[in-house]
Structure 1
Amino acid sequence: MNNNRIDEKINDVFRPKTWDESITRDSWMVFKVMAELVNGYETMVKVGPCVSIFGSARLKPEDEYYQMATDIAKRITDLGFGIITGGGPGIMEAGNKGAFENNGKSIGLNIELPFEQHFNPFITKNLGLSFDYFFVRKVMFVKYSQGFIVMPGGFGTLDELMEALTLIQTKKIGHFPIVLVGSEFWSGLLDWFKNTLLKKGLIAEENLSLFRVVDTAEDAVAHIKAFYDKYSISVNF
């Protein structure tokens, strides 16, 4: 087996192409992006206030965080919010399951991947969307979420968390509540925020107040509720 075989996507960048080939392919990509955005907007604009739940696709139903995500989703739908997840297995399935079983709106924004991603069975009819482009999918997450619950996860979860933090920090979206669930899991990242980013002046002290860290479903939902109670905002679908 040749371990030095170059990735086809890398190889394609350096492959000689005609001008017609390049412009045709890239132009058609623009239309694919537009189609995903339009389809997403037309579906999501109808769903009403929602909270996104992010987390690993790899956690199983017996995992404590899977069970906690299910509980959180049920409690959030009791407040009147719908639940948005990535639509796949693991924490995403747990969030959709909690909403679906509690007769709440359960939205799945799936991404087409060669592994570990498929629609879970707990998504409200006609509220499952599939995306080819991660950035279009993230637009739907942040545009149509009024709060973010971030469970333990890997690179994808970190990407979604940083997207929300960056957009709130730069005031591109409202200062919606962000809840990190699992103080032990997040402790290393938070230490790095404080001891590296803050000390070097790469973030401001007030940026550390953009999120809340909790260890229970009750506290996660209480933070979302308290945020909207403070502004006397009620959720109506």
Structure 2
Amino acid sequence: MTDSRQNPMTDAGTDRSRAEGIPETPQTLAPAYRLAFADEEFMYRDELRPVRLQLELMKPEMIMDERGITSTIVLFGGARIPEPSKKKEARTKTLADLSKYYDEARELSRILTLKSMQSYGREDVIVTGGGPGVMEAGNRGAKEAGGASIGLNIVLPHEQAPNEYVTPGLCFNFHYFAIRKMHFLMRAKAICVFPGGFGTLDELFETLTLIQTDRMRRVPVLLFGEDFWRKIVNWEALADAGTISEEDLDLFQFVETADEAAKIIGALED
């Protein structure tokens, strides 16, 4: 990224290059002498956590602003859901049966990306977690439509490399789950949630909480696979217990197919 404004001051990159050419002496070799922003050990200190949080918020925001991206369609879903052609490799029969949602995510992304390209790829851009499974399907559908898509990856103990279909210039990596989830929702025009595990549930319930408490404007929240979601969550029991209101059950709706979701979002005519 470059700043096109005319600035008479020496930029940080120039000074970093100059500092690297300074003769080595006991003084210049000491950690205290390093430029603060170029000192990795300093940046990793606990006291610098607020700075790191800010950097993770700003970097994707600035890049997406530069690309002119104004709105997104979010696809949440499980990393373990296989492509149908590979469902025989699935760990369980249930995962194999859920493989159909890989194709639904792929097709939905293709439809929405074709619609997005009518606005030069600035509106309703597909965003996923950038990993395998449903995430891969989402980015794949966008690429097959000839458009760009976003991947918000995160560093995990077991490496989750970005899938090959994320647009390289829109593939981000995060340390903080909280900031990553903010970026999922900051531009969201609709949230499409496919079957998944703890991560997907976390993303779904944070979204519903933000909408329920008016911390986020109401957008369509579409849950793919009614049978799966009713088995995983007893929604009516929450309302019967009074821990949520009956009206909160209207914050989401179930869908089964890409076409059904695309019509709700407005990318297909009825």
TM bracket, shorter-chain basis:
0.7 to 0.9
Distance 2:263 2:77 in 1: 19
Structure 1 SS opposite 2:223: strand
2:266 aligns with one of 225, 228, 231 = 225
Q: CA deviation at 1:184?
A: 1.1
2:248 alignment partner, SS class: helix
2:150 is aligned with what amino acid? I
Q: Which residue does the alignment assign to 2:249?
A: 208
* 1:35-184 alignment, distance < 5 Å: 35-45=55-65, 46-62=68-84, 63-80=99-116, 81-115=124-158, 117-184=160-227
Superposition TM-score, scaled by structure 1 size: 0.81
Q: Confirm or deny: 8 A CA contact 1:83 1:96 kept in the other structure.
A: yes
What is the alpha-carbon distance in structure 2 between the residues aligned to residue 169 and residue 122 of structure 1? 34
**For residue 27 of structure 1, what is the aligned residue in structure 2?**
47
Greater shift, 41-50 or 97-106, is seen at: 41-50
- Tell me by how many angstroms 1:65 deviates: 1.2
Deviations 1:175-198 (A, max 9, x none): 0111000111111245x2212x11
Number of aligned residues: 203
Moved more, 73-82 or 145-154: 73-82
Deviations 1:143-194 (A, max 9, x none): 121110000000000011011111111111110111000111111245x221
Higher mean displacement: 157-166 or 40-49: 40-49
Task: List structure 1 segments (4+ residues) > 6 angstroms apart after TM superposition.
Answer: none
Higher relative contact order (CA 8 A, sep 6+): 1
Partner SS, residue 84 of structure 1: strand
Q: Secondary structure at the match of 1:130?
A: strand
- CA offset digits 1:101-126 (Å, max 9, x no partner): 10222100001112251101111231
Q: Give the corresponding residue for 1:193.
A: 235
Range 43-52 or range 202-211, more displaced: 43-52
2:154 maps to a residue whose letter is I
CA-to-aligned-CA distance 1:39-87 (integer Å, 9 cap, x gap): 1211233322210000011112122111111011111113322100001
Q: Which deviates more from structure 2 when the two are superposed, residues 150-159 or residues 111-120?
A: 111-120
**Cα distance in structure 2, aligned partners of 1:116 and 1:210:** 34
The alignment partner of 2:81 has SS state of coil
> Partner amino acid for 2:241?
K
* Cα RMSD (Å): 1.8
Unaligned 5+ runs, structure 2? 1-43, 85-98, 117-123
Any conservation in 2 of the 1:56–1:154 contact (CA below 8 Å)?
yes
- Contact 1:57 1:116 (8 Å CA) reproduced: no
Distance 2:144 2:71 in 1: 18
Letter in 2 for 1:188: K
- Between the aligned partners of 1:202 and 1:225, the Cα distance in structure 2 is 33
- Measure the CA separation in 1 of the matches of 2:256 and 2:241: 29
Rg (Cα) greater in structure: 2
Query: More deviation in 179-188 or 45-54?
Result: 45-54
Q: Contact conserved, 1:147 with 1:224, CA < 8 A, in 2? A: yes
CA distance in 2, matches of 1:94, 1:153: 14
Give 5+ residue unaligned stretches, structure 1.
Answer: 1-23, 230-237
| Displacement after TM superposition at 1:202 (Å) | 0.9
